Amino acid sequence: MKKATPFFLFLCLSMNVSLKAQNQVAIDLNTSNAKTVISKHIYGHFSEHLGRCIYDGFWVDSTLHVPKKDRIRLDIVDALKKIKIPNLRWPGGCFADEYHWRDGIGPRTKRPKMVNTNWGGVVEDNSFGTHEFLELCGLLGAEPYIAGNVGSGTVEEMAKWVEYLNFDGISPMANLRKENGRDKPWKVSFWGVGNESWGCGGNMTPEYYADQYKRYATYARNYPGAPLKKIASGANAFDTNWTEVLMKNIPAYEMWGLSLHYYTLPTGDWGKKGSATKFGEEQYFNTMKNGLAMDSLVTLNSAIMDKYDPKKSVALVVDEWGVWTDVEPGTNPGFLYQQNSMRDALVAGSTLNIFNNHSDRVRVATLAQTVNVLQAVILTEKEKMLLTPTYHVFDLYKVHMDAKAIPLQFKSPKYVLGDKQLAALNASASIDSTGAVHITIVNIDPKKKINITTNLKGLKWSKVTGRIVTSEKFNDYNSFDNPNKIIAKVFTGAKKSGNMLSAELPPLSVVELELN
């Protein structure tokens, strides 16, 4: 065996130093720049009459042996309370524009049955309606976000629903509410005027929908003590023309928010989206690429909104987002039941970092969907219940709710696959009312750890603690046989040196650090 030449040793040493340098990241963070509040409503959730989200999810058979109030499943309620769910969007989704609210009030035995034409053609018995939903929100401590029916409904129907919910007085709808057992109004604030009006909500043009919005919104009244936050049905993904037309044609004072829907498809193909758990690195890379596109999407729409609304009075409401894969084999294709892997956790952490960093415009977001549908935070199987990796990310990130966003500056190392590359690192930070600083960081690289250092300007601190969600493989997931494979654990890879924070982030990790 030949001895290594001095030049060869020098080259190897140089390459090693270079590789280490590539995975050393200096993050600039100055707490004196923290001015914008990260609304807690960024951490909202979406529940549609779809598959097993409502029925066999939140709302179970009276014979199921789980803790219940009426038929509301309380172990789900308790789990969602732990992550401080701030709002819940209902009844859809596409279902909202075929839902007639009066079918879901009054004695359950007298409520008419209907066909859910959007999701599986199953019979909807309307046993879960307005009162049941608002009872659920009360148990959760979450604000209700109701999507009204513009597609197949009428102005009168929506106006009377608002009156039924919010008017504290004598009127036909207030009297009907009292007859159904609710004396005082709920005073629901968040109100969607239609859903996906460019598609399943009526296949409208943006010009036509803008006129419809103004008509419906006119009669959705603000009753005493119950001002509405009216949210217009916004764009599908990168359809910026829809955003442009609505911002141009609807005065800013007439809408509180404008929605945006974007789903992360592993393959980018709606026809065959890809498996939730059986995929390799190529599909993993593409999923992360498509998920990180949310940053460009929010930036583009925010720029259009700034043109018409420079004071940023209209919120960007990303009320449908998440990973959408093929359904699990053997399940009803109309029920959209999919597993939830470490990959989903990384998309969730990255997306929430994006929203935090755009909190000047993004003030509401709702993950699709809460239980048993799409990128759910909870899955159930009869009496069994498990918390998905995505749930544990929300548990980490709840520290940002209503804290002030701290702008971050850093240059991320690259996650490289063949001739393609992505930023391996993304992050967001905030300072809460007690002065504690929280930093959430995602390393999407499946092989390389990343070392960070942060000089915290303007902050006196004495200790750092942390939690982490990680797993060995990007397609690991929690099953009913092994429900705790991926959970939030204590993170010990961070330390203080002077006023400098340093941390070593494992591959495939979502980390939350708290500095006090």
Residues 393 and 352 in one domain: yes
* Rounded Cα gap, residues 370 and 87, in angstroms: 11
Give the domain-ending residue among 344, 366, 401.
Answer: 401
Is 9 a domain residue? no
* Rounded Cα gap, residues 504 and 493, in angstroms: 5
Residue 258 binned pLDDT confidence (cut-offs 50, 70, 90): very high
Give the domain-ending residue among 340, 373, 401.
Answer: 401
Is pLDDT above 90 for 455? no
Is 15 a domain residue? no
Q: Which of 320, 318, 326 is nearest to 266 (CA)?
A: 326
Residues 338 and 415 in one domain: no
Instruction: Summarize pLDDT for 395-454 with one digit per residue, the tens.
Output: 999 999 999 999 999 999 999 999 999 999 999 999 999 999 999 999 999 999 999 999
Segment 62-77 shows an average pLDDT of 97
Residue 65 binned pLDDT confidence (cut-offs 50, 70, 90): very high
Residues 368 and 413 in one domain: no
Query: CATH number, domain at 499?
Result: 2.60.40.1180
Average pLDDT, the chain: 95
Is pLDDT above 60 for 278? yes
Residues 382 and 446 in one domain: no
Residues 505 and 362 in one domain: no
Residues 99 and 247 in one domain: yes
Instruction: Summarize pLDDT for 283-325 with one digit per residue, the tens.
Output: 999 999 999 999 999 999 999 999 999 999 999 999 999 999 9
Catalytic choice (48, 124, 196, 512):
196
pLDDT of residue 14: 47
Is 4 a domain residue? no
Is pLDDT above 50 for 187? yes
* Rounded Cα gap, residues 509 and 346, in angstroms: 7
- Where do we find the tokens 């993950």? 367
Residue 11 binned pLDDT confidence (cut-offs 50, 70, 90): very low
Is 243 a domain residue? yes
Residues 426 and 318 in one domain: no
Terminal Cα distance for the chain, rounded: 56
**Three state DSSP letters for 416-428:** EECCEEEECEEEE
Residues 378 and 411 in one domain: no
Residues 391 and 376 in one domain: yes
Is 14 a domain residue? no
Is 324 a domain residue? yes
Residues 195 and 280 in one domain: yes
Alpha helices in 58-205 (DSSP H): 74-82, 130-140, 155-166, 172-179
Catalytic choice (124, 143, 163, 320):
320
Instruction: Summarize pLDDT for 211-248 with one digit per residue, the tens.
Output: 999 999 999 999 999 999 999 999 999 999 999 999 99
Residues 249 and 292 in one domain: yes
Based on the structure, what is the number of domains in the chain? 2
Give the domain-ending residue among 373, 401, 429.
Answer: 401
Residues 82 and 135 in one domain: yes
pLDDT over 70 percentage in the chain? 96
In the numeric block, which tokens belong to residue 358? 């755009």
Burial of 496 (0-12, 13-18, 19+ CB in 10 A): middle
Is pLDDT above 60 for 20? no
Whole domain around residue 463: which residue ranges? 24-34+406-515
Is 321 a domain residue? yes
pLDDT of residue 22: 59
Query: CATH number, domain at 207?
Result: 3.20.20.80
Instruction: Summarize pLDDT for 118-142 with one digit per residue, the tens.
Output: 999 999 999 999 999 999 999 999 9
pLDDT of residue 19: 47
Is 456 a domain residue? yes
In the numeric block, which tokens belong to residue 26? 């200096």
Q: Which of 192, 351, 322, 353 is nearest to 257 (CA)?
A: 192
- Residue 320 designated active-site: yes
CA distances for 142 relative to 46, 76, 258, 314, 371, angstroms: 12, 14, 21, 22, 16
In the numeric block, which tokens belong to residue 18? 């270079």
pLDDT of residue 21: 53
Instruction: Summarize pLDDT for 99-125 with one digit per residue, the tens.
Output: 999 999 999 999 999 999 999 999 999
Residue 18 binned pLDDT confidence (cut-offs 50, 70, 90): very low
Check if the beta carbon of residue 387 is closer than 8 Å to that of residue 80.
Answer: no
* Rounded Cα gap, residues 429 and 208, in angstroms: 41
Residue 6 binned pLDDT confidence (cut-offs 50, 70, 90): low
Pairing of strands 44-46, 414-417: unpaired
